[in-house]
């Protein structure tokens, strides 16, 4: 066992974990943040994407101990049910989710993408999404949602908390 | 009255899903919960002699381990989920799946044993402690080979591998053929894909001993039948078993299958141990343990009049049912029925043989056999159009069933046991609309020739289909208005993303005059609603939706009657809206729904005799038969003749699903269906080798379409309400996926027109298309479609020239110390006569280095000339077994060694290491041969290598 201390969604956490414990399992089972989903455990589907120090990372490809001292943000760090993040709001408005299983990973991939690309074109959006598999939607509405979110977030400008 | 049905209402369930707060099965955490892992067969076909769990049970953290015999009387073959329909002379032989294998292993991935431990990690560790004594048998993989008289039998109690046989006819094809102007015949292949829901399957079971109650969370599409079946198996009253299908991360068909072995074993284990047990499938398990679909081979023939009218169709096909057939004949019967499409086929003969193979079980996957039928018919029509010189759209138009001809009886039996009668449809406008949207005429007249002149291969496809949806038997719903005014709706069908929380709420909200977000929907919890069958066959909205409508209408009537009674007026003077029920001419007089609910449930006083308390109603709906949706898909592609890459330039769908409950959800379903279809058509194929090993069991090797592969889809609608339900709706869930293969084939073939490429198989892939294009450039007939099996997993051969004499080389090659030093990863190698035992550490591609026990028996030795080796290597990550031959001959200066090996590879290394297997083994043999050369030199023999490993 190894001690691990990190920040998850702004909360300082210290745990003793097995070195082989995946970050995805640590978040889901130890910290009980089950919004991060596991779809393939080999880094292809992207459902388990979280932010590690602000960048999108597949939590199934990382050991929890590798996140020592890091700042990890999961989908639970975005909006709440009654105050959705603009990206979540856009997903809802554009019907960009069906079963919703891949959605948390999509959102966490897109948060840093929109931070770095505030006015993305369609192809850019599709490239950004190409590492996240969705079996339900056919992606078209996700692409629309991202464009919509980008537009709204630009309009909201520097409104506090509007964007990551 | 506000009408919400038909509006693109945003989904009630989204906020929970978007914030990560929706509960999926793997999110269930219970105090004291244990974790299960299943040991699965590495062999496609083997005799299972013994399973030794003793070491696994001793591992710290392991609570229990069970094999078939440990289940005692609980062990029983699974039920037949769907009995065969009443087709005359039908043969059906049921070979049900079992909870844990006993006596025989019939597909790679079949569960043999389960370990229950404190964590999933420990449970998986313990799988490696289990010793399985299995004797491999020849596997049956190819459909036609399975029917050979001497084929190994998968189920020994049966006299062949035939699972079923059915013939359905209407009219006389022989007579139609005799008077036909033209007869066209082809063989068509459709191969397997995975459903690949992003959420794998999972089961959590908790036994409450004091209440004698079992609670099960299951990623199922059919919680109520699961509850009923498990109650019987566990010997519990149905009321003591609660099955919850919470949010389910995509279903696509396989999650309707029952009973999966894990569903049977986990609740039993939870009760046996007395602690909650969770099992979550991992992706690699999903590739073989979750059911699959689509292998069929059709020999089809169409008889045509000169004007392109269909006189008859004759189809004989083989259907792959996998190792067991729990789902009956739904898939092949769908193929048989859906082939007819929107066309009049006066004479039809369709005969199929379902075949057992040593591959994962086949049950419906989005489309459920319909793809095959559409593919065969549309391809035949494409060929007919070409041969008769009729435009592709025109030949379809000439054969459409006309609007005045409904209900249209095809005079054969459908999967719901009812005659295949189309309730409604209007095909011509759908075709016209699709043709206009994609600009068919202009494309064919201008764009395509222009592109051609620029050297670009553009093609267009237009296909039509009819889909039987919304079948029975029934579903139910209960609508309750609580005293708080909150409206609750409970129904039995679970949800896998179809938006039931919203579309059902719309239906109820319309009746009760409330907002759609004011209706709280509960689906998929047997405690809340315990009658129903499940979410499948594009039936949720049609059948459960109609039940919701009926229940809400009954509550509305109750509320109006109660209000009329309280106000002393006639019910016709009472209106409902805005959460209130009121006097129409004076809306200030009335009650909120909550007040009425209170008044309808008095604590004291009397009621009119016969009054049912509360504002609540439960209603059921069972359609007379399924409603038929239909549509036309059109696509423009560009094919790169050199690389065989296909780019979809445009994709148009015109769809008729009757009344749309929520067009936003309908569009989403179609988008997703098309993406699924595109995957099936061009990216996805499960590749089994002749040994029944799946060679691409990961998302690295099995390619799902990404955001870069699925185009934007342009939609058009035609609305022909179904007369078979009060909403007029038809199913839409599978529609998008059904015609895509046929469309892909037509469009790509059209792009390659003039090259002679004819597409008679799906899935295609860039590499398969490349082969077809290359073959078309050759003279002579085009080779048959590629079967899915690809021979042995690993074949090695080559020559190497050594500097020493054959005698020296021979001695060197059989010296265990030398071999141990040259073979990469050898930790130990001992010789005992002709037998060598050792331990190897090998890693292949993504499979990290793992220990393999090696056993080699040398035979056929002629000293200095040749020998053969029977090689067996097995370890936690799989096995390699087969034969290698080595021949030595003097080549003047030294010795030329020729070697060949044919090896079967199984387990993880086959499933996920396949891409690397060839190159890694070549690299390893090259490394070994060079090391041998060095040893030879070190022994003092002069050596001048004149060749290299090849």
Q: Is B248 on the interface with A (CB under 8 A)?
A: yes
Residues 442-501 on B with a CB inside 8 Å of A are: 496-499
Residues B219 and B170 grouped into a single domain: no
Query: Is residue B680's pLDDT more than 70?
Result: yes
Dist CA B428 CA B394 (whole Å): 10
| Nearest chain B alpha carbon to A127 | B708
Reference B214, options B256, B150, B269, B170; nearest CA is: B269
Query: Is residue B610's pLDDT more than 60?
Result: yes
Reference B276, options B529, B77, B24, B25; nearest CA is: B25
Asked if B17 and A97 come within 8 Å (Cβ–Cβ), the reply is: yes
Dist CA B287 CA B107 (whole Å): 12
pLDDT at B946: 45
Quote the minimal CA–CA distance from A134 to chain B in Å: 7
Q: Is B433 on the interface with A (CB under 8 A)?
A: no
pLDDT at B940: 63
Q: Taking CB atoms and an 8 Å cut-off, how many pairs form between chains A and B?
A: 186
| DSSP β-bridge partners for residue B190 | B296, B762
**pLDDT tens-digit map of B708-745:** 999 999 999 999 999 999 999 998 888 899 999 999 99
List alpha helices for B421-491, DSSP H. Answer: 427-438, 440-442, 448-453
pLDDT at A157: 80
Structure token digits, residue B387:
């041969």
* Domain end among A43, A76, A109: A76
Q: Residue B697, CB half-sphere, CA atoms under 13 Å: how many?
A: 29
Q: The CATH number of the domain where B591 resides is what? A: 3.30.365.10
Residues B320 and B285 grouped into a single domain: no
Inside any domain, residue B946: no
**Chain A interface, mutation test: which of B31, B37, B119, B198, most A Cβ atoms within 10 Å?**
B198
Residues A96 and A49 grouped into a single domain: no
The interface predicted TM-score (ipTM) is 0.96
High-pLDDT (> 70) share of chain B, %: 96
Check if the beta carbon of residue B737 is closer than 8 Å to that of residue B637.
no
| DSSP β-bridge partners for residue B694 | B688
pLDDT at B537: 78
Dist CA A146 CA A87 (whole Å): 7
* Domain end among B571, B606, B621: B621
Residues 720-749 on B with a CB inside 8 Å of A are: 736
| Nearest chain B alpha carbon to A99 | B497
Q: Is B704 on the interface with A (CB under 8 A)?
A: yes
Q: In what order do the strands lie in the sheet with B615-621?
A: B519-523, B487-491, B475-481, B615-621
**pLDDT tens-digit map of B889-928:** 998 888 999 999 888 888 888 888 777 787 888 888 888 8
Q: Is B252 on the interface with A (CB under 8 A)?
A: yes
* Domain end among B253, B274, B289: B289
Residues A21 and A71 grouped into a single domain: yes
**pLDDT tens-digit map of B690-711:** 999 999 999 999 999 999 999 9
Q: Is B698 on the interface with A (CB under 8 A)?
A: yes
Inside any domain, residue A161: no
Inside any domain, residue B449: yes
User: For strand B241-244 and strand A2-8, is the pairing parallel, antiparallel, or unpaired?
Assistant: unpaired
Inside any domain, residue A48: yes
Instruction: Report CA dihedral (B390, B394, B400, B403) to the nearest 10 degrees.
Output: -150
| Nearest chain A alpha carbon to B18 | A88
Residues B319 and B257 grouped into a single domain: no
Check if the beta carbon of residue B786 is closer than 8 Å to that of residue B682.
no
Residues B768 and B808 grouped into a single domain: no
Asked if B19 and A76 come within 8 Å (Cβ–Cβ), the reply is: yes
Least confident of B111-115, B274-278, B353-357, B412-416: B412-416
Q: The CATH number of the domain where B256 resides is what? A: 3.90.1170.50
Residues 899-928 on B with a CB inside 8 Å of A are: 912
Asked if A137 and B676 come within 8 Å (Cβ–Cβ), the reply is: no
Residues B217 and B88 grouped into a single domain: yes
Q: Is B200 on the interface with A (CB under 8 A)?
A: yes
Query: Which residues of chain B lie closer than 8 angstroms to A8, CB-CB?
Result: none
Dist CA B596 CA B599 (whole Å): 5
Residues B839 and B925 grouped into a single domain: yes
Total domains in the fold of chain A: 2
**pLDDT tens-digit map of B431-467:** 999 999 999 999 999 999 999 999 999 999 999 999 9
Determine how many CB atoms are found less than 10 A away from the CB of residue B487.
Answer: 27
Given a cut of 50, the residues of chain A with pLDDT beneath it are 161-164
Q: The CATH number of the domain where A111 resides is what? A: 1.10.150.120
Which member of B120, B196, B698 has the closest CB to residue A135? B196
**pLDDT tens-digit map of B195-231:** 999 999 999 999 999 999 999 999 999 999 999 999 9
Structure token digits, residue B60:
């710290």
**Chain B interface, mutation test: which of A44, A129, A135, A145, most B Cβ atoms within 10 Å?**
A135
Q: The CATH number of the domain where A38 resides is what? A: 3.10.20.30
* Domain end among A76, A95, A121: A76
Inside any domain, residue B883: yes
Reference B413, options B84, B137, B114, B638; nearest CA is: B84
| Nearest chain A alpha carbon to B701 | A44
Query: Which residues of chain A lie closer than 8 angstroms to B706, CB-CB?
Result: 129-131, 133, 139
Residues A60 and A94 grouped into a single domain: no
Query: Is residue B397's pLDDT more than 60?
Result: yes
pLDDT at B15: 97
Residues B170 and B65 grouped into a single domain: no
Total domains in the fold of chain B: 4
pLDDT (average), residues B607-613? 84
Query: Is residue B947's pLDDT more than 60?
Result: no
Reference B655, options B637, B631, B674; nearest CA is: B631
* Host domain of residue B417: 162-193+292-471+625-777
User: Residue B613: what are its φ and ψ, rounded to 5°?
Assistant: -70, 160
Structure token digits, residue A49:
């994407």
Residues A8 and A72 grouped into a single domain: yes
High-pLDDT (> 90) share of chain B, %: 79
* Host domain of residue A14: 2-76
Residues B676 and B581 grouped into a single domain: no
Which member of B16, B498, B700 has the closest CB to residue A44? B700
Inside any domain, residue B788: no
pLDDT at B949: 42
Check if the beta carbon of residue B368 is closer than 8 Å to that of residue B537.
yes
* Domain end among B256, B289, B322: B289
Please provide the DSSP assignment of B33-65 as one string: -EEEEEEE-S-SSEEEEEEE-HHHHHSTTEEEE
Dist CA B856 CA B873 (whole Å): 8
| Nearest chain B alpha carbon to A41 | B283
Is A123 exposed, middle or buried, given 0-12, 13-18 or 19+ CB atoms closer than 10 A? exposed
**pLDDT tens-digit map of B297-323:** 999 999 999 999 999 999 999 999 999
Asked if B710 and A140 come within 8 Å (Cβ–Cβ), the reply is: yes
Dist CA B500 CA B521 (whole Å): 8
Please provide the DSSP assignment of B375-410 as one string: HHHHHHHHHHHHHHT--HHHHHHHHBPPGGG-SEEE
Residues 663-692 on B with a CB inside 8 Å of A are: 664-665, 667-669, 671-676
Residues A65 and A95 grouped into a single domain: no
pTM, full prediction: 0.94
Residue that is written with structure tokens 């700042």 in the block = A71
Query: Is residue B843's pLDDT more than 80?
Result: no
Dist CA B205 CA B210 (whole Å): 16
**Stronger pLDDT, B126 or B944, i.e. the higher one:** B126
Inside any domain, residue B249: yes
Determine how many CB atoms are found less than 10 A away from the CB of residue B606.
Answer: 7
Query: Is residue B785's pLDDT more than 70?
Result: no
Inside any domain, residue A164: no
Query: Which residues of chain A lie closer than 8 angstroms to B29, CB-CB?
Result: 29, 32, 34
Query: Which residues of chain B lie closer than 8 angstroms to A107, CB-CB?
Result: 18
Query: Is residue B4's pLDDT more than 60?
Result: yes
Residues B298 and B285 grouped into a single domain: no
Quote the minimal CA–CA distance from A122 to chain B in Å: 10
Output the average pLDDT for chain B: 93
Asked if A129 and B197 come within 8 Å (Cβ–Cβ), the reply is: no
Residues B424 and B493 grouped into a single domain: no
Determine how many CB atoms are found less than 10 A away from the CB of residue B537.
Answer: 27
pLDDT at B942: 44
Residues B337 and B398 grouped into a single domain: yes
Quote the minimal CA–CA distance from B197 to chain A in Å: 6
Query: Which residues of chain A lie closer than 8 angstroms to B282, CB-CB?
Result: 41
Residues B278 and B298 grouped into a single domain: no
pLDDT at B210: 97
B590: left (phi over 0), alpha (psi -120 to 50) or beta: left
Q: The CATH number of the domain where B855 resides is what? A: 3.30.530.20
Residues A70 and A107 grouped into a single domain: no
pLDDT at B804: 86
Which member of B18, B248, B699 has the closest CB to residue A92? B18
- Residue B851: pLDDT band (50, 70, 90) is confident
């Amino acid at each position: 066992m190894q001690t691990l201390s990190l920040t998850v969604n702004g909360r300082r956490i210290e745990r003793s974990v097995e070195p082989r414990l995946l970050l995805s399992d640590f978040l889901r089972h130890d910290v009980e943040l089950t919004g991060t989903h596991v779809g393939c455990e080999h880094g292809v589907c992207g459902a388990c994407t979280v932010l590690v120090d602000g960048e999108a990372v597949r939590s199934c490809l990382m050991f929890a101990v590798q996140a020592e001292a890091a700042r990890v943000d999961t989908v639970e760090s975005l909006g709440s049910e009654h105050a959705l993040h603009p990206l979540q709001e856009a997903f809802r408005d554009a019907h960009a989710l069906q079963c919703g299983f891949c959605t948390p990973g999509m959102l966490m991939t897109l948060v840093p993408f929109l931070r770095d690309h505030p006015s993305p074109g369609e192809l850019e959006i599709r490239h950004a999404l190409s590492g996240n598999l969705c079996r339900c939607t056919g992606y078209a509405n996700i692409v629309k949602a991202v464009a919509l979110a980008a537009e709204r977030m630009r309009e909201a400008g520097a409104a506090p908390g509007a964007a990551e | 009255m506000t009408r919400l049905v038909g509006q693109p209402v945003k989904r009630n369930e989204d906020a929970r899903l978007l914030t990560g707060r929706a509960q999926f099965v793997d999110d269930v955490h219970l105090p004291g919960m244990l974790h299960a892992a299943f040991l699965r067969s590495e062999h496609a076909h083997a005799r299972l002699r013994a399973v030794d769990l003793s070491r696994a049970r001793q591992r710290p953290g392991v609570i229990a381990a069970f094999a078939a015999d440990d289940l005692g009387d609980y062990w029983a073959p699974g039920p037949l989920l769907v009995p065969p329909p009443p087709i005359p002379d039908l043969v059906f032989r049921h070979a049900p799946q079992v909870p844990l294998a006993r006596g025989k292993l019939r597909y790679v991935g079949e569960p043999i044993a389960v370990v229950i431990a404190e964590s999933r990690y420990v449970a998986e560790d313990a799988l490696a402690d289990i010793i399985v004594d299995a004797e491999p048998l020849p596997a049956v993989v190819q459909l036609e080979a399975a029917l050979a008289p001497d084929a190994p039998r998968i189920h020994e109690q049966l006299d062949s591998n035939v699972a079923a046989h059915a013939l359905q006819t209407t009219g006389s094809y022989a007579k139609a053929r005799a008077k036909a102007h033209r007869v066209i015949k082809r063989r068509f292949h459709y191969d397997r894909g995975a459903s690949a829901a992003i959420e794998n399957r999972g089961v959590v079971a908790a036994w409450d001993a004091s209440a004698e109650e079992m609670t099960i969370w299951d990623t199922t599409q059919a919680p109520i039948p699961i509850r009923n079946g498990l109650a019987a198996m566990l010997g519990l009253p149905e009321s003591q078993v609660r099955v919850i299908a919470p949010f389910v991360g995509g279903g696509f068909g396989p999650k309707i299958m029952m009973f999966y072995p894990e569903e049977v074993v986990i609740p039993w284990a939870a009760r046996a141990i007395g602690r909650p047990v969770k099992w979550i499938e991992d992706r690699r398990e999903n590739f073989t343990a979750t059911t699959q679909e689509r292998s069929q081979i059709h020999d089809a023939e169409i008889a045509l009049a000169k004007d392109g009218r269909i006189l008859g169709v004759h189809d004989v096909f083989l259907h792959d049912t996998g190792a067991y057939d729990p789902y009956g004949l739904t898939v092949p019967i769908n193929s048989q029925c859906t082939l007819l499409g929107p066309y009049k086929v006066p004479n039809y003969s369709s005969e199929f043989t379902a075949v057992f193979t040593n591959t994962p079980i086949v049950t419906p996957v989005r489309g459920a056999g319909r793809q095959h039928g559409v593919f065969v018919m549309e391809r035949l029509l494409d060929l007919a159009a070409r041969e008769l010189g009729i435009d592709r759209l025109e030949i379809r138009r000439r054969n459409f069933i006309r609007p005045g001809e409904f209900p249209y009886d095809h005079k054969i039996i459908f999967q719901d046991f009812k005659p295949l009668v189309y309730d409604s449809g209007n095909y011509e406008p759908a075709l016209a609309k699709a043709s206009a949207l994609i600009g068919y005429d202009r494309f064919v007249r201008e764009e395509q020739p222009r592109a051609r002149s620029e050297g670009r291969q553009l093609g267009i496809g237009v296909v039509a289909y009819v889909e039987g949806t919304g079948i029975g038997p029934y579903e139910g719903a209960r609508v309750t208005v609580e005293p708080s005014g909150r409206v609750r709706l409970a129904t039995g069908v679970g949800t896998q993303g179809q938006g039931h929380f919203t579309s059902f709420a719309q239906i109820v909200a319309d009746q009760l005059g409330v907002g759609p977000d004011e209706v709280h929907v509960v689906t998929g919890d047997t405690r809340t609603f315990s009658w129903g069958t499940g979410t499948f066959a594009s039936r949720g909205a049609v059948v459960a939706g109609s039940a919701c409508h009926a229940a809400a209408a009954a509550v509305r009537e109750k509320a109006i009657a109660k209000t009329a009674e309280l106000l002393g007026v006639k019910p016709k003077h009472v209106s409902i809206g805005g959460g209130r029920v009121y006097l129409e001419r004076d809306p200030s007089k009335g009650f909120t729904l909550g007040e009425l609910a209170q008044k309808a449930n008095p604590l004291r006083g009397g009621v009119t005799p016969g009054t049912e308390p509360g504002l609540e109603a439960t209603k059921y709906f069972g359609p007379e038969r399924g409603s038929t949706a239909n549509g036309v898909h059109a696509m423009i592609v560009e094919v790169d003749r050199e690389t065989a890459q296909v780019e979809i330039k445009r994709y148009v769908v015109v769809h008729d699903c009757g009344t749309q409950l929520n067009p936003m959800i309908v569009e989403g379903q179609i988008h997703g269906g098309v993406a699924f279809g595109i995957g099936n058509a061009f990216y996805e194929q499960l590749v089994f080798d002749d040994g029944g090993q799946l060679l691409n069991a990961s998302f690295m090797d099995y390619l799902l379409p990404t955001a870069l592969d699925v185009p934007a889809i342009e939609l058009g609608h035609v609305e022909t309400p179904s007369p078979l339900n009060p909403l007029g709706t038809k199913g839409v869930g599978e529609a998008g996926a059904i015609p895509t293969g046929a469309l892909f084939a037509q469009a790509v073939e059209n792009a390659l027109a003039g090259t002679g490429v004819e597409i008679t198989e799906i899935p295609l892939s860039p590499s398969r298309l490349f082969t077809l294009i290359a073959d078309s450039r050759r003279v002579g007939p085009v080779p048959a479609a590629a079967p899915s099996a690809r021979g042995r997993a690993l074949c090695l051969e080559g020559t190497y020239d050594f500097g020493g004499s054959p005698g020296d080389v021979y001695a060197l090659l059989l010296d265990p110390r030398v071999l141990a030093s040259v073979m990469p990863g050898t930790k130990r190698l001992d010789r005992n006569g002709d037998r060598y035992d050792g331990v190897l550490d090998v890693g292949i591609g993504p499979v990290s280095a793992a220990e393999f026990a090696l056993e080699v028996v040398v035979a056929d030795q002629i000293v200095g000339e040749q020998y053969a080796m029977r090689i067996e290597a097995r370890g936690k990550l799989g096995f390699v077994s087969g034969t290698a031959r080595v021949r030595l001959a003097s080549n003047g200066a030294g010795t030329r060694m020729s070697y060949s090996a044919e090896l079967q590879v199984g387990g993880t290394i086959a499933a996920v290491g396949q891409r690397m297997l060839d190159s890694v083994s070549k690299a390893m043999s090259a490394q070994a041969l060079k090391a041998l050369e060095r040893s030879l030199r070190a022994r003092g023999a002069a050596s001048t290598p004149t060749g290299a490993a090849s």
